[in-house]
Amino acid sequence: MEILKKISETLYDGDEFAMPELVNEAINAGATAQQVLDAMMAGMAIVGDEFSRDELYIPEVLCSCHAMMEGSKVLKPLLTDTDAKSVGTVILGSVQGDMHDIGKNLVGMMLEGRGLKVIDIGIDVPAEKFVEAAIEHNADIVACSILLTTTMPETPKVVKAFVEAGIRDQVKIMIGGAPITQEFCIRMGCDAYAKDAGAAAALALTIYQNN
Ligand code: B1M
């Protein structure tokens, strides 16, 4: 679909003003929310590659982020629209030292779309804050987004904080993000790993259904 190609290009160009209209146009032309999301992510993948080769700089990357956010706002009602009764609460955040939030926000939307209540505690979240939020909201799942190899070592800190609070067996810790793997998840003593936002939502629902 030509419009999806245009969405990828516009994301890459970082045109946040054009994005909402293009997303609406794509939806009206029959594209699914997931197809539009995939098109935006394809644009972001090119941004990421060029960023790593120093061909794009932070201000340009941020423009693409803003375009992604504007597009996501239009998609949000389509991704979260559900009649399902809330089945449980998930605490969601990017670990300490990590400012990346686009993937986390998508995970939040997908979780809501599966009928889960999401308490988003933001970015740069210290391990103890995940514990405090889990206790305050009586959550059974804590979902940590990790985008940097340098913030991967936050993972055992989160696990340790739950052990020290004496509630490790009451909370499932789910992790995800570009550098995370299933093997890392197991090695760190976490309970679940999801590759993308859709998988994270499906997994969270399975955890609740099996509890
Ligand atoms: Co950053 N950054 N960044 N960055 N940035 C990466 C991650 C990087 C791979 C770019 C690169 O060099 N190729 C690289 C990390 C390298 C590494 O660790 N080995 C990197 C770097 C180095 C940095 C800085 C250190 C750069 C610098 O300052 N020199 C710096 C660090 C800041 C910090 O966090 N302390 C930095 C800063 C930034 C910006 C501020 C410019 C911006 C973030 C803005 C924002 O988020 N509001 C940014 C961006 C945009 C990126 C890239 C280009 C795109 C990330 C993104 O939003 N992707 C990224 C390159 C890339 O990923 N290709 C990069 C789209 C998003 C939908 O995907 O977040 O992967 P993603 O989420 C996916 C999955 O990972 C998964 O689901 C989502 C899709 O469905 N997922 C989960 C995510 N969380 C999950 C949780 C789950 C389950 C699945 O369960 C709980």
Tell me what percent of the residues of the chain surpass a pLDDT of 90: 74
Query: Which of 3.40.50.2000, 3.40.50.280, 3.40.50.720, 3.40.50.2300 would CATH assign to domain 89-210?
Result: 3.40.50.280
Q: Between 168 and 201, whose confidence is greater? A: 168
- Name the 3-class secondary structure at 29: coil
Please report which confidence band the pLDDT of residue 174 belongs to, taking 50, 70 and 90 as the band edges.
very high
Q: What is the pTM of this model?
A: 0.91
pLDDT at 46 over 70: yes
So what's the pLDDT on residue 17? 97
Please report which confidence band the pLDDT of residue 210 belongs to, taking 50, 70 and 90 as the band edges.
confident
Residue with the smallest CA separation from ligand 1 atom 21 is: 148
CA dist 167 and 142 (Å) reads 12
Query: What is the position in ligand 1's atom list of the atom closest to the CA of 92?
Result: 91
CA dist 151 and 128 (Å) reads 15
C-alpha distance across the termini of the chain, in Å = 42
CA–centroid distance, 93 to ligand 1, in Å, is: 14
So what's the pLDDT on residue 91? 98
- Name the 3-class secondary structure at 97: coil
Query: What is the position in ligand 1's atom list of the atom closest to the CA of 101?
Result: 46
- Name the 3-class secondary structure at 133: helix
Residue closest to 177 by CA, chosen among 158, 203, 202, 197:
197
Stretch 102-110: mean pLDDT? 90
Q: Between 177 and 110, whose confidence is greater? A: 177
pLDDT at 135 over 70: yes
CA–centroid distance, 169 to ligand 1, in Å, is: 30
Query: What is the position in ligand 1's atom list of the atom closest to the CA of 194?
Result: 88
Query: Which of 1.20.120.450, 3.30.420.40, 1.10.1240.10, 3.30.360.10 would CATH assign to domain 2-78?
Result: 1.10.1240.10
Question: Tens digit of pLDDT for each residue in 141-166?
Answer: 999 999 999 999 999 999 999 999 99
Residue 89 phi/psi, 5° resolution? -115, 135
pLDDT at 84 over 70: no
Residue with the smallest CA separation from ligand 1 atom 83 is: 177
The residue whose CB lies within 8 Å of the most ligand 1 atoms, and thus the one to mutate among 147, 195, 196, is 147
Question: Tens digit of pLDDT for each residue in 86-100?
Answer: 789 999 999 999 999
So what's the pLDDT on residue 198? 85
Ligand 1 pocket (Cβ < 6 Å) reads 41, 44-45, 47-48, 51-52, 58, 61-62, 65, 97-104, 106-107, 143-145, 147-150, 174-179, 194, 196-197, 200
CA dist 111 and 205 (Å) reads 8
Start and end residues for every CATH 1.10.1240.10 domain found in the chain? 2-78
pLDDT at 106 over 90: no
CA–centroid distance, 147 to ligand 1, in Å, is: 5
- Helix, strand, coil % (nearest 5) of the chain? 60, 10, 30
Start and end residues for every CATH 3.40.50.280 domain found in the chain? 89-210
So what's the pLDDT on residue 112? 87
CA–centroid distance, 148 to ligand 1, in Å, is: 7
Residue closest to 118 by CA, chosen among 44, 39, 208:
208
So what's the pLDDT on residue 65? 87
Question: Tens digit of pLDDT for each residue in 191-206?
Answer: 999 999 889 989 998 9
Residue with the smallest CA separation from ligand 1 atom 75 is: 177
